[in-house]
Amino acid sequence: MIEKLVQQLKSLGTFYFCGNLGNLGDLLIAEATRQFFKRHGIQYIEYDPNNLPDEYNLVYGGGGRFVSYWTNSDVCIKLLTEPRIKQCIVLPHSFKGIDRLASHFDERHTLYCRDQASFEYLSAKAPRSSVYKLADMALLLKLDDLPPLSIPSSPSPEEVQIERDIKNGLFRRMKRGVRKSSVFGEGSLKGKRVAFLLRTDKEKSSCLDSSLTFDISVIWHTSGGDTAYNAEILRQFRDALRQADVVVSDRLHVCIMAYFSGLEVYMLDNIYGKLSGVYDLALKNIPQFHMLREGSLPGDLQEAWNRFSVTRRDKLNRKLRRKQKKAQRKEMIKKIAAKTKEKGRVLYQALLKHLVRPTIEVKSVTAKGNKLTVTYSLSNHDHLKRLFKQREFVAEYSENIEKVPESVLVLPFVCNVLPIVWLLNGKLKVPRLDKQFYDSIPEFKAGYISQSPELSFAGKVEVEHLEDNSYEPSDSVVVFFSGGVDAFATLFRHLEERPILLTISGADVKISDTQGCSTIEKNTIEAAEQFSLPKPVFVKTNMRTMIDEIACCKLVAKTGGEYWHGYQHGISIISNAAPVCYQNRCKMVYIASTYTAENKVICASDPSIDNYVRICSTSVFHDAFELTRQMKLSLITSTVKKLGLYPFLRVCWKASKGINCCKCEKCSRTIYGLLAENEDPRMYGFPLFSFDDDKQGAAIVNQLKTEKDHALYFWEDIQERFRQTHAYQDLSSVNWIYSYNIRTK
């Protein structure tokens, strides 16, 4: 069968290879597959979703993704059944419980199964495709052929993260974890070190307590891509396992790597029989592999486990007691110190406040191509320095900004630090600043003072040169676009103005979340194309990671609010539009509201602040403040019905990768808001929602018990809308909301 696979792959010509994302086991499979390609002279290109031709062939790496525990059907359908794909080969996988995905496989697909059960399942569920059996690709790995480590001179974002993980002790943790999960055997195992390496996720089925052991596979995760560190990670994986003589595991690729390392392997099955299936197809004739089908250990192994588990529990209990005692001592010392040092602390803070003025000074503002960099210094003031993690502000735009004046380019940095300067009674020194913006500072600062009268906003801005950058505004407008409910409502309200959509990565989606950034950019591009808008603009910025938000929260602690939400994010987000406004001579920037006047929430994005910010000759408007969130959903759904185009509403703060988790309070709030409008949430980007889930009501009720008042306002509006529309009143999974008392906690 391997010869048949070689012929099939060569017949494709040069194809795109997409490695399966996942853990150490998936990395083992991906690297074994790349070795296989090179040994047989098979030509391929690493898959890049942002750089694909009009037609292409796709080969998807082997693994265990296509089972109900891990599969996101919508994502997999989009990846594997893309219309541009001419032929698609899925290398040996386990397949189970993915009926919807299987039904989308057609004549273009050749599917390889690594066990008999998967073969029988796909033969029934994917009748249009060609289905074959083939051993797991990991078994083709040759450790000696792995290339030596070569540090990349221009590392990719993933390689930068791997470098960081290695520096933080990734390899040490691998080896230490295996040692801690090992014990010397007795009897037939005398003198041999036995390592128990059990999985801790939802596939586990062993009766052994896996919390006592080390799940080495999940210590590191891969995108499936080809990085300079893949080979070294696998070598370290091997070296960690070589500390043992015998491995007991229900992780398939831990067992396979143990075999490559010359160890004796005892395999426990996972919850759906993956290991036994692979064993029966490819491993049963290899003497080093032993399949423990009943899930119980033979005598000497059981005795080793008994001694290991007792010793390990004792160690963990001792460690827990030491931590508790240490915490008690710290608490005692803290109480004593608080009593004896209170007077000194108050005096020190008074001196700090009145005699030492914290100063932030801009040292340089540079724009190279599309990248803006602002370097700055901090005065010798301990309290000020604790508020910053970096000494450089960076923003990367999707367009060239070199022709924008320094006095405009500096605005994103200035707006990010202004609240800190005010709250510390500090000073911000700037070489050049836009005059229109500078003149607007007292006006929008008044909004902060009005919202938080208990705080002092006393700092000031010193500018060497004020520059007049005024211009005759064009018809261009900007809409800040996150893809959420507020953003789409503002977009639909101003569609006739054909706004430029401006999407920021680094606010709610971390710039380190490359897949999330890519997803939201793609969603913005799709929205711009759907509604015939100009080319959107994207910004990636470190505006949140530059500042220590936890430390900044102490500045506003007496209000009970959070620094980012209550004091930074409004003008911080607005300021990122400055270069775009200048280059397009924009007349207006729209930033969507989150609340209404009735909500009484301290929020950095408020009409009393946003509407008074001016950037050159561009005005700012806090849009739709008069609309509740439910009114915005009504606007969105009615517009969708007119246009026949369903938007993807990205609302989730919990999930990475730019998707909606469909479980958090904000996802639930949006799902039920759509239901109240008689809409199907699955059409708006919530594919995991189910009308048949009778437990979702209880889960939401538990969430609401811990939510703040402003979140409850949203749910009261949703409930009122249900009572107006009578939507899904007869559906047991939804109609709990009609009678639930939202204010009961």
**Two structure tokens written together for 706:** 């811990």
Burial class (CB in 10 A: 0-12, 13-18, 19+), 228: middle
Same domain, 33 and 130: yes
What is the gyration radius of the CA atoms in the chain, in angstroms? 30
Per the domain annotation, does 617 fall within a domain? yes
| pTM, entire model | 0.54
Per the domain annotation, does 745 fall within a domain? no
Per the domain annotation, does 514 fall within a domain? yes
Per the domain annotation, does 312 fall within a domain? no
Same domain, 473 and 560: yes
Same domain, 501 and 385: yes
Same domain, 129 and 183: no
Same domain, 195 and 229: yes
Among 644, 640, 621, residue whose Cα is nearest residue 632? 640
Give pLDDT tens digits for 475-484. 999 999 988 8
Give pLDDT tens digits for 225-263. 999 999 999 999 999 999 999 999 999 999 999 999 999
Enumerate long-range contacts of 120-123, CB under 8 Å, 24 or more apart.
121/95, 121/96, 122/95
Its domain, for residue 467, covers 359-627
How much is the pLDDT for 227?
92
Same domain, 512 and 611: yes
Q: How many domains does the chain have?
A: 4
Pairing of strands 193-197, 618-623: unpaired
Q: Are 491 and 526 in contact (CB under 8 A)?
A: no
Per the domain annotation, does 104 fall within a domain? yes
Same domain, 609 and 680: no
Q: Residue 620 region, left (φ>0) first, then alpha (ψ -120 to 50), else beta?
A: beta
* Regions of the chain with pLDDT less than 50: 352-354
Same domain, 664 and 717: yes
Burial class (CB in 10 A: 0-12, 13-18, 19+), 159: middle
Domain boundary among 126, 141, 156: 141
Per the domain annotation, does 435 fall within a domain? yes
Per the domain annotation, does 369 fall within a domain? yes
Same domain, 592 and 698: no
CATH (domain of 35): 3.40.50
Domain boundary among 234, 268, 303: 303
Domain boundary among 141, 175, 204: 141
Same domain, 438 and 567: yes
User: CA-based angle 431:433:434, to the nearest 5?
Assistant: 160
Same domain, 67 and 112: yes
Per the domain annotation, does 371 fall within a domain? yes
Same domain, 482 and 598: yes
